[in-house]
Structure 1
Amino acid sequence: MNAPRHIVSAAAVVLDDAHQVLLIRGPRRGWEMPGGQVEEGESLAAAAV
Structure 2
Amino acid sequence: MRKRFHSEFMTKVVLEAIKGEKTIAELSSEYEVHNRTQIVNWRKRA
TM exceeds 0.5? Answer: no
| Higher CA-based Rg | 1
Bigger proportion of residues as strand: 1
TM-score normalised to structure 1 length: 0.28
Q: Which has the higher contact order (CA 8 A, sep 6+)?
A: 1
